[in-house]
Structure 1
Amino acid sequence: MDATTTSTPLVSEPGAGRHRAGRPLSLDPAWAHSIDLDLVRRGSGQRYITEDWLPLRRLADGTLLIASTERFNDAALADALSEEFDEPVVFTRVGPWELKSIALKVFGDKVADDAANALFLRNPELSGRIVFSRSQKISGLVFGIALVVLALLWPRQTAIGVLATVSLVFLAGTAFKFFVSLQGARFDVVERITDTEVAELSDDDLPVYTVLVPVFHEANIVAQLIDNLGGLDYPVHKLEVLILIEEEDLETRQAIEKAEPPAHFHIVTVPKGHPQTKPRACNVGLFLASGSYLVIYDAEDTPDPDQLKKALIAFDRGGDDTVCVQAALNYFNATENALTRMFTLEYSYWFDYMLAGLDRSNLPIPLGGTSNHFRTEALIELGGWDPYNVTEDADLGIRASTIGYRVGVINSTTMEEANTSIPNFIRQRSRWIKGYMQTTLVHARRPVALIREVGIVRFLAFALLIGGTPATFLGVIPFYLLTAASLAIPSTVISSVFPVWVLWICLFNFLIGNGIMVYLSMMGPFKRGTFNLILWSLLNPVYWILHSLAAYKGLWQLLTRPHYWEKTEHGLTQQTS
């Protein structure tokens, strides 16, 4: 049922006491259009949803009409509400999504504002709404002026110092990924959950699970979405799938309605607001979520059918400190073209080795944008997602780490659609890299406090992974050009500007840095047996040029359009999942 529509509710007959109980009777369908807004707004939408009641209006006989989904015969609730409002109450029984739809309609502006700004109002330092803090602006200005002065006074020495520093950062970032990935290869730290353990779970004991699916201009793949998520092995009466649609996206809404999704699929209209981003939509979904656990999927995702059950077992093993478990991502169209092959190699290395190595080393794990399973209460405690950060997933993983929560990895895979188009790839990667820059700026606002919270080792890991990744990609094209120039220009000319040791560092970076990344890409296929992709790893230096182009686009957008969500087009593949 659509979260912005209602159907005819039921009401109870008069009974004893100040509340009424008895046989449900039909109400006039016009009830939904005669809600006393002033009365409803005396409370909060979150309270109404949590406590399962909502005041509608006063009836002609002076009785207060209360909507509820499960507590319409709860005498204690009736007495409490009669005392709170100082008048008798009568209940009307409504479906859970009827009550939620009323709350979303009445409190839509408040929900939209909270979805965008609750984290910022709660702790401005943890929000990407402000791109550069005052201290960062001052520090950046001082550094820029100092660099210009040094370049004017000692141009050669300044160029040498900058090149050497950037080279060391490039090498450190690459070496960090190499050694962490080796940890992931050496130790199998992924939560191995067997089919037997899954089969032993009883449907009666399973909790309610919420699935959030934010979509925007995805009319071409919503039928696939419904089929894919319809394959989840979970009792439907304990599963709610919330398809989060922006208010103006009528085409996608119509496509979903035409596909006739099952009853446990609900269309949620995300109220208009700024910024128009995936995390803001997810925060609206979090406001409505009923599940004790929650997962995010993208529109094109095909998760393993037993993924939700495996996540529950992993949460039980991990204890209360485990706030999230991440399933691996991979691609069903891996062999479509050269780009999809490189994409698949990268993701295989990242999810099968890099995340496992971070987990083994107890280092902060930046989440992927999909297949993140959360304890809902812990997610609310963290403040939900930052709608101003365009890699809200990575930011949330770092925030969880700073307060001692753990992120785990499970042996389940969600198949996605790899980018088949270079322009689409650049759009997607520029957003990801811009988001890493945002996350670095946010958590670097208070470096001393962050070191106290997570320790120096985890702080350095954060700096090398989240800050080092954009820095590495920004350095790729300049290093490639400098290496090419050093080979083409006579050595006597080059050595007159740069000393030999600097040129050796650049050459070392080019050969060893690229060699490391080629090796890591080659590791990717081994766990999944996709050995036909191994030789494609040799194209990694070319693949990194695309990343570098995306990094410069991301940097430009960070300065000019920091909160703009660069949309990735889906449904371009010629292959099917």
Structure 2
Amino acid sequence: MAQVLPFTPLVDEESPGKDTAKRRVLLGDLLVRAGVLEAEGLAAALDQQAGQDQRLGRILIANRSISPEDLTAALSRQSGLGRVDLRDTPPDPELLAGIDPHLCLRIGAVPWRQIGGTRVVAITHPDAAPEAEAACSGPGPGQRLAFALAAPDDIRRVIIEAHAARLRDDARDRCPEPFSCRGWPPAAGHWRPLLALLAMAGAAVGAPVTALMVLMLWILLANTMTTGLRLVAILARFRRGRRSAGPETPRIADYKKLPRVSILVPLLREEAVARRLLDALAAMDYPAALLDIKLVLEEDDAITRAAIERAGLPSTVEVVTVPFDGLKTKPRAMNYALPFCEGEIVGIYDAEDRPDPSQIRAVVEHLMHAPPEVACVQAYLDFYNTERNWLARCFTLEYAIWFRVILLGVQRLGIPIPLGGTSVFFRRKVLEAIGAWDAHNVTEDADLGMRLARFGYSCDMIDSTTWEEANCRVGPWIRQRSRWLKGYAITWATHMRRPRSLFADLGPRGFLGFQVLFLGAITSYLSIPLFWVIWAGAVGLDLEFWHSFPAPLMHGFLASMYLGQAVMLTIAAVAARDSGRPRLVAAVLMLPLYWPLGAVAAYRAIAEVFTRPFYWHKTEHGVGEILET
């Protein structure tokens, strides 16, 4: 076991009669005496600290009352620890090679030099010494440890430089293999999915009537189950309204200390919205010292980096650079940035997001009183450019249906929630325990909702809205939707590799809900052309094959189709009203022109499942501003 050399803390010589612990000079007093902090600034920071789970120094930096260099100098004087400049005197590479980079990033510590029998460890704060002792001590017996303070940015930099390859690879493969789609298609059965498609095509040619009848039966079952879920959702919505007079949830003011929250904002070619993004983050109604915002940039994205540098960054915002990799996806970038986060709650925003300023407070309030099995919360998503054109209005209506009605029914039934890719917040310990995001899955959000459920956790919706930019051009809309549906298909295939295990994890209700949400969604889009053909036959178009089907099958199919549409129209009207924009009801009349775009995206998605399963179709943001100029 290592021998730790003792600190020599600074004591107040003006109080000689007191115990040393009581005579220790306080950090705030040191800063005031050094002339870098006004007494009024110290008093304000101490008042803030009373309601925050945060160190005084971080509060002062967030308030821009002192600089990071001022804090390090004061901590050095207070603790008696020396300081090292890791830029002028970098750590010994051999010592760095033996550390766990994830652990050292969390602690804020690296071994610096071996001087005789003493190993000097650089730490960001004196309080990090106990954990740094276990993380950075040498293997031999009788090792002595001494500590020195270093700038947090420098400690992170040397860890990244020494372990770049491991951090990059861990980000790609962090999700446990049994739950990841990175092995798609399975090596042992590489041709099985393609052979299945060829077999179905052969059946359609050899026995078209029988093949079409089987297909209709499957679509009938899928549509019936999807309609049933929507009915439950709309009923749950009205039941929620009757419960609104119940007892109030504990308010955030009832809690003594607020936790720190990390926000990940993955960016790729987002120069058009960089300034607006920073303004939205600055408007959040949560103590600045408790916000840890990471702008996650790809190494080769010089355009976005330049836009952010021009905008300027506050002390609560840090840029995390993701090293180049053949796989360039949003979940890989978030996996890479996660070890740099310092909060106990981790949230995600997209580049174009405009969240409610009180959203983080609502998240913290919910998670502080929720049981431990509630691992995350999801806010509503809505669009701010609804009036751009008919496509934006239909997209807005679809989001209102999904977030304000359908997901309520999903939560009510105890079915796992397919998460959205933004405005979702996790308990960090849970997120890390289940392997974070699947870097290869292009709908990592929906997959993560299922994986949380398989590990025994649940997700809740909260009544807070984030405003996004609706895709308002047909081509980009199809590419975005094809990515989502491709991810749904691969997520379904990944979790269904071991259906018995999935059934055991989710239970009968969750397993059935999983089939409806994923397989049902894909079926709904792929079956749109067949719906149109059969509807045309029902209204009088003479189709030769029409008379080959049993009348009960046709009647049942048509009844399911009409009932499904009636339920959807009802949900659409309710969702439009719940979103506060009843004028959206008129967009319901345009949905028959909207759904076929989803069919085009679905067929493209199925093709990409076999040709480009991990390709990420980038959604361009700031289109409205570009079109206006």
Q: Which amino acid aligns with 1:328?
A: Y
- What secondary structure is seen at the aligned counterpart in 2 of 1:269? strand
Distance 1:258 1:306 in 2: 27
Letter in 2 for 1:467: L
Distance 1:558 1:567 in 2: 17
The code of the aligned residue for 2:240 comes to: F
In structure 2, relative to structure 1, the CA distance for the partners of 1:196 and 1:146 (3 Å cut) is: closer
CA distance in structure 2 between the aligned counterparts of 1:515 and 1:571, rounded to whole angstroms: 36
- Counterpart in 2 of 1:565? 616
1:529 aligned partner, one-letter code: G
SS at match of 1:187: helix
Per-residue displacement from partner, 1:214-271 (whole Å, max 9, x unpaired)?
Answer: 0001011111110001111122222110000001001101111111110110000001
Pick one of 573, 585, 594 that aligns with 1:534: 585
Match of 2:490 among 438, 450, 471: 438
Which structure is richer in relative contact order (CA contacts within 8 A, separation 6 or more)?
A: 1
Which is greater in Rg?
2
- Secondary structure in structure 2 of the residue aligned to 1:30: coil
> Deviations for 1:312-354, whole angstroms, at most 9, x for unmatched residues?
1211221111100111111112222211211111111211111
SS of the residue 1:367 aligns to: coil
Aligned: 1:67 with 2:96 = no
Partner letter of residue 80 of structure 2? G
**C-alpha distance in 1 between matches for 2:350 and 2:390:** 23
With over 3 angstroms needed to count, the CA separation of the structure-2 counterparts of 1:53 and 1:191, relative to structure 1, is farther
Out of 25, 42, 45, the residue aligned to residue 98 of structure 2 is 42
1:399 match: 451
Aligned twin of 2:598: 547
Cα gap change, 1:116 to 1:232, in 2 (>3 Å):
same
Q: What SS is found at the alignment partner of 2:262?
A: strand
- Give 1:229's aligned residue: 281
Is 1:187 the counterpart of 2:240? The answer is: yes
1:22 to 74, 80, 84: 80
| Letter of the 1:431 counterpart | R
**Aligned counterparts of 1:282 and 1:307: Cα–Cα separation in 2:** 21
Could you tell me how far apart the structure 2 residues matched to 1:459 and 1:558 are?
23
1:556 aligns with 2:607: yes
Aligned to 2:319: 267
Deviates more, 1:84-93 or 1:417-426: 84-93
CA positional deviation for 1:75: 7.9
1:177 Cα shift?
A: 2.7
Q: Which of 220, 237, 251 matches 1:197?
A: 251
Q: 1:488 to 1:135 in 2, by over 3 A?
A: farther
- Larger deviation, residues 110-119 vs 152-161: 152-161
The equivalent residue for 2:150 is 94
Gaps of 5+ in 1: none
> Do residues 109 (structure 1) and 165 (structure 2) align?
yes
Distance 2:474 2:75 in 1: 64
Write the distance in 2 (CA, Å) between the matches of 1:426 and 1:178. Answer: 28
Stretch moving more, 127-136 or 445-454:
127-136
Separation (CA, whole Å) in 1 of partners of 2:491 and 2:245: 28
Distance 2:612 2:192 in 1: 22
Instruction: Give the aligned partner of residue 109 of structure 2.
Output: 53
Q: Return the letter of the residue paired with 2:403.
A: F
Q: Are 1:8 and 1:26, in contact at CA under 8 Å, matched by a contact in 2?
A: no
Matching residue of 2:39: none
1:74-126 deviations in Å (ceiling 9; x for gaps):
4896699667565554433223333222222221110110110122xx3x221
**Cα separation, 2, equivalents of 1:572 and 1:192:** 43
Taking only the aligned residue pairs, the percentage that are identical comes to: 31
Letter in 2 for 1:481: V
For residue 138 of structure 1, report the CA deviation from its aligned partner: 7.4
User: 2:174 — aligned with what?
Assistant: 118
The answer to whether the 8 A contact 1:296-1:370 is kept is: yes
Structure 1 pair 333–545 and aligned structure 2 pair: CA distance change class (3 A): same
- Aligned: 1:368 with 2:420: yes
Cα deviation digits, residues 2-44 of structure 1 (max 9, x gap): xxxx9999799999xxxx962645748422xx33222101111
1:171 is aligned to 224
Asked whether the equivalents of residues 343 and 418 of structure 1 are also in contact (C-alpha less than 8 Å), the reply is yes
Matches of 1:107 and 1:79, distance apart in 2: 19
In structure 2, what is the Cα distance between the partners aligned to 1:519 and 1:414? 24
User: Is the CA contact 2:109–2:132 (under 8 Å) kept in the aligned structure 1?
Assistant: no
Match of 2:377 in 1: 325
Cα distance in 1 between the residues matched to 2:395 and 2:245: 25
- Asked if the contact 1:326–1:410 (Cα under 8 Å) also holds between the matched residues in 2, the reply is yes
Contact kept? 1:332, 1:417, Cα under 8 Å: yes
Note if 1:316 corresponds to 2:374. Answer: no
CA distance in 1 between counterparts of 2:75 and 2:541 reads 93
Q: Which residue in 2 is equivalent to 1:524?
A: 575
* Residues in 1 aligned to 2:173 and 2:196: alpha-carbon distance in whole angstroms: 32
User: What SS does the aligned partner of 1:266 have?
Assistant: strand
Residue type of the alignment partner of 1:101: R
Alpha-carbon deviations, 1:135-194, whole Å to 9, x = none? 876764775576567556644333322233233323332332333343234325899998
Structure 1: distance between partners of 2:550 and 2:134: 85
Give the aligned residue type for 1:246: E
Partner-residue secondary structure (3-state), 1:459: helix
RMSD: 3.3
Tell me if the contact between 1:517 and 1:540 (Cα under 8 Å) persists in the aligned partners. no
**Change in CA separation of 1:532 and 1:21 when aligned onto 2, cut-off 3 Å:** closer
Of residues 156, 159, 165, the one that matches 2:212 is 159
Cα distance change on mapping 1:235 and 1:247 into 2, 3 Å:
same
> Aligned pair in 2 of structure 1 residues 527, 150: CA closer, same or farther (>3 Å)?
closer
Q: TM-score of the superposition, structure 1-length normalised?
A: 0.88
Partner of 1:507: 558
Change beyond 3 A, Cα 1:439–1:275: same
2:434 is the counterpart of 1:420? no
For residues 450-461 of structure 1, the aligned pairs below 5 Å read 450-461=502-513
Are the aligned partners of 2:168 and 2:323 in contact in 1 as well (CA < 8 Å)?
Answer: yes
Partner secondary structure for residue 296 of structure 2: strand
Partner Cα separation in structure 2 for residue 79 and residue 219 of structure 1: 43
Which residue number corresponds to residue 23 of structure 2? Answer: none
Is the 8 Å Cα contact of residues 192 and 411 (structure 1) preserved in structure 2?
no
1:512, distance to aligned residue in structure 2 (A)? 2.9
**3-state SS of the aligned residue for 1:66?**
strand
Change in CA separation of 1:556 and 1:149 when aligned onto 2, cut-off 3 Å: closer
- What is aligned with 1:289? 341
Q: Secondary structure at the match of 1:573?
A: helix
Structure 2 CA distance for aligned equivalents of residues 453 and 28 of structure 1: 48
Aligned to 1:449: 501
Unaligned runs of 5+ in 2: 1-60, 62-67
